[in-house]
Amino acid sequence: KIDWGGLKLGEGVNMSTELASQEEYMEDKHALDDALRGLEGHRVEAQARWNTRRQDVAEQERLVLEELRSCFVVAVREAIRKRIDAILDDKQFLRDIDALVGCLTALQTHVGEGSSVLVDVLARVKSRVNELQSDSEIQNLIEAKNYAKLLSNLETLCVMKPALEGWVALDIINIQTKTTRHVSFLLKQAGDELQSGVEHPTFLVFTAVQDFVRLTPLLEKRFPGEMEAAMHDLIQMADSAIRKCVAQAKEMLEIARADGMTTGAEETVARMLIKGYAVAVELGVTDQYQKWMETGLLNQMESKSQHLVGIAIKLKSEDSNASVASAANGILAMFPAFKTFRTEQFNAKAGGVTFPTALEKMKCMPTRPSNDNLVTVFGAYDEVYSAEVDKIVHGLKDYSEDALRKRVAHLVKKLAPHVEELNQHCLVFGQLFALVASAWTYLSCLGKGDFQERKSVLQPHNTQILGVCRLLGLDEAALENHLIQINTGEGKSVALGFTAVLLSLLGFSVDVVCYSSYLSERDYQEFKQLFQFFGVEHFVTYSDFDGLSSSILKSGADVPNIREKFVQFLRGNTAAPRRGDNALNSLVSAVKNLVVSPPAPAPIRRKVLLLDEVDVFFSDAFYGQPYLPSELLHDADGGSVTGYNLLLHVWQRRGSLSKSKQSVAVLREHMLTKQLLSKFPNLAFLLEAELYRILDSVSQFPAGRAPRFRSGEDAYTLDAARGTIVYTDPRTHVPTEKLSYGYVTAFTYFYECDRGKFPPATFREAGQSSSKIGVLPVCGALSYSEIPRLYAFALGMTGTLDCLTEKQDALLKEYFFERRTFLPSTFRKKSLNAGRGGDAKETKVVRRKTVRGKLEGEMEDYFDVLKDEMLEELKKGRAVLIVFADLKRLQHFNLELHRSPPDFPSYSPPQLLTDQLENEERKSVVLKAFRPYTVTLMTKSYGRGTDFVCLSSGLISDGGAHVIITFFPEDDSEEKQILGRTCRQDDPGSARKIIFEDDLEPLGASERLWSAQNLPWDAYLAQCRAATHEKRMAQMDAAHEKVMARHNATLKACEAAEQRQWEEAARLFKEASLKSPAVQGVEDDEESSDSD
């Protein structure tokens, strides 16, 4: 309410109304004028009061705002100072340098450039930063051998010096000088260790070499050129030292041989081998070392000397020095001359589980009435095998190979008519199996001298014998499809090898298929000698799924040779007449048959498929996916000329071409296209789609700019010497030359030529023939899931049969895999995470602590948790494997470790196990992974099939290797495979999953939903994964239906081509190749195949 000098506004209005209503008012106008003047006076007085009051309020507001502004400035200044103090206290300068500079800039803005506050803060910054290079800090780090921290401090200062320029003047000469001096000292120490004489007491000390090599990832960044030269010098010194030791050892061995007595030469050779092996592992040259030592020394030694050297090395394998013991074990495993000693160690561990014990612990589905047949088989096996092994170990030179083969042939003749009812002939089969195993043992002993014992020769262990007998139905009514689970690291490849030999001897043709071509080739080489010994090498093949698919097509026995039929279709009426169409050909053939009687056709062998890791076959990488063969159209000897020139023309004019009908029309009318059509006239049916594929691919290579690769297309390395691009298979994560991305790969060759990575003459000369580049149409589709149906029997072994979901189990039953066997461990296996408390093994989910979207800050919180877990295990002397879902996350964490390494003297930068490594580098990383205080970062592809071996007794006593999984595996089988990298055989081990909450989104999981479930994280995430898996399986079923339609269309297209029904064949080939994916697998020099 407003007071108008005691008169309310309402009262004045009422008074005016009252006066106006009175009759006297009209007569007394002066009374009304007086009233109005009175009202105006009150209004003016009130307005003056209000103006005064408003000025007072405005002044008060100004004073308050000034006070608030002053408080705000102080608050901001203090907040900045606190943030700076936190950065200085944390000392994570490499990680926080941008934040520190930002804080200093903000502080200067608020307090002014010459402010005492800013001067004080800058003084503290300089003081804290200089603490990193104080004499005491440097000396303490050197004495503690905390070289990782020392080099991290140096790099921090080198980064901060320019970053803080204009704020703080940093002089880093002190740490640069002392670090450089000490690195030189370490290099000299390493050189001294390499060059020390074999008789010197410290000859087997190589800690300086280890220290120096472990620091090379950090040293290379600070001293790139110098480190490369230093490593080269170390390798040269090691080579020189080993040569000197070898010469000395040979001289001592010659003296010993002449005198007929030992002179300690064997001990010298043992010490020299151990030192050389340890250095070779550190320098990553184990393959070269092995070849050089075998040719330069071991192969020139007598078997007796080799045996004595082996004994000396075996004694060193129990040395109190963990590094020496580990190197000695590595030597025993590396050289064939000493493998008997390593085998002896293995047999001692594997012999703890007898056949009756394994039989008792074995589980079967469906259950069987009794074990009598298996007992009978093993009795016959053991009797014959024991007798044969006694002959081998006591008279290897006199052992008769021919006699063994004749006995095998005799038994095979007995069993051949009954191969599907072996259960009726258990004694004979047991004897046959024993002789095959004896041959394997015999071959492994060749070249190892006469110093053999039963305990030291290679022999099948009891669970492998049991697995083979179960797989071949010795205790069943008949041979049927069968799957067996055998633990990871317990000889699955050996059991499959024996199964392949036995089946091939009994008249079957055997295809052993694995998801990885690398592992497949490795396993084949292990049994190749045995296949050749019995002459069955032509009846056993090892391959991956793409290789098997290609061989099936080539044979044309089970499905048509799609490539051949497709080319026949493309050539149309220009194709050569089929056999029998030409009367002259028929006449010539008849005359030949009169002159020379054709040999009787060999009996057709029934085929058996042996699956290695069956769960992979029924994963979404294969089930519901097609094998898509493609064909490089050859118009000249050695490859393609016209097609090559057409693609070269498109590449050179890509700037004027686009994915359009106009560009397709231009290419259709080009002379090169017409030349191609003259040789492949029916290509006209598919031409428009093929030209569009070419234009679509070249559009990914804009002129003058970087390529726009799609998923997987940039995952390649260059073999310039061979002129080859090698891709990493997105399904197996293994590098392979049998993979290409169709026209994208062709244009990638041109792109790399333009960059100078390949000699121009290799691909760029128009008119030359090319076996890699040309027109490459897709021929059709073959469903991977149909492969087992092409075989009489399908048998398999896997490590994860008990991890299949209900849907996967139902799929197996669709392929008649009703029989299941679960073998017990061969060893006295320890439990994973034995002795660890619940909190130490429970899955940990790191939740977001910052605002969503600020990924870098969130990842720092998560990485800190990973580092804490890693450091806790390192302090126990353990090895740590950290498994990442992809390379990007691995590299991010590796960068964080580089920016902020753990402050622990025994810590050294981690090893990286990724697809980017060459084979020799990969082998070196795997060999060094299971050593005390070693951290290895690896992508999940190495969680399957990678044989990490623990050679360190110290590591075993400290708990073995610890595995940290940084994601929730897609299914139980993937998780089991990754966990199987530790706690192998009878070694201890532990594992834990530590997951960033954002990574759970694909599972539909979150902390909020988990809280409502009242479940442990593992149980809750398993529920979410099961629901996700159901959706994925539904998608796989839908994909399978589509693939089968294309599969059937391909077979019909081949029939139409055979009948020369060109238009029908064109329609069906087009239907089969519709929406062909980009990935193509090259099967050999002239063939390629697609695979989703």
Bridging pattern class, strands 626-630 and 782-783: antiparallel
- Mean pLDDT within 590-603: 53
Q: Model confidence at 582, in pLDDT bands (50, 70, 90)?
A: very low
- Edge to edge, the sheet with strand 508-514 lists 363-365, 819-822, 482-485, 793-798, 606-612, 508-514, 540-544
Instruction: Assess whether pLDDT exceeds 90 at residue 795.
Output: yes
| Long-range contacts of 724-731, Cβ-Cβ distance < 8 Å, separation of 24 or more | 724/772, 725/749, 725/752, 728/915, 730/1079, 731/515, 731/621, 731/622, 731/1091
Residue 495 contacts residue 611 (beta carbons within 8 Å)? no
pLDDT at 451 over 80: no
CB 991 within 8 A of CB 833: yes
- Number of C-beta neighbours around residue 696 at 10 A: 14
- Any idea which residue has 């040269």 for tokens? 236
117 alpha carbon, distance to own chain's centre = 53
Whether pLDDT at 902 is above 60: yes
Q: Which two tokens stand for residue 268?
A: 């010298």
Token pair, residue 827, equals: 């060893």
- Quick one: angle between helices 687-698 and 642-652, nearest 10? 50
| Six token digits for residue 62 | 């100004």
Q: Tell me whether residue 903 is exposed, middle or buried, using C-beta atoms within 10 angstroms of its C-beta: 0 to 12, 13 to 18, 19 or more.
A: middle
Is pLDDT of 1090 > 50?
no
DSSP annotation of 28: -
Residue 576 pLDDT > 60, yes or no? no
As a whole number, mean pLDDT of residues 903-926 equals 84
Q: What is the pLDDT of residue 617?
A: 66
Q: Is the dihedral of CA 629, 630, 635, 639 positive or negative?
A: negative
Q: Which tokens is 227 given?
A: 């480190």
pLDDT at 33 over 80: no
Burial of 614 (0-12, 13-18, 19+ CB in 10 A): buried
Lowest-confidence region among 297-301, 523-527, 604-608: 297-301
Decide: helix, strand or coil at residue 275.
Answer: helix
Q: Taking the model in full, what pTM does it have? A: 0.77
Check if the beta carbon of residue 617 is closer than 8 Å to that of residue 783: no
pLDDT tens digits along 1022-1033:
999 988 888 888
Q: Does position 368 have pLDDT exceeding 90, yes or no?
A: no
**584 Cβ contact partners less than 8 Å away, ≥ 6 residues apart:** none
- Partners of 796 in the beta sheet? 483, 611
The whole-number average pLDDT for the span 198-202 is 81
Tokens of 765: 């000369």
DSSP string, 634-701: --BTTBBSHHHHHHHHHHHTGGG--SSHHHHHHHHTSHHHHHHHHHSGGGGGTHHHHHHHHHHHHTTS
630 near 1088, Cβ under 8 Å?
A: yes
Query: Can you give the pLDDT at residue 1092?
Result: 37
Q: How many CB atoms lie within 10 A of CB 356?
A: 12
pLDDT at 650 over 90: yes
366 upstream amide cis, omega within 30 of 0: yes
Residue environment code for 909-947, b if the CB has 16+ CB neighbours within 10 A, otherwise e:
bbbbbbbebeeeebebbbbbbbbbbbbbbbbbbbbbbbe
Longest distance between any two alpha carbons in the chain, whole Å: 162
Residues 268, 249 contacting (CB under 8 angstroms) = yes
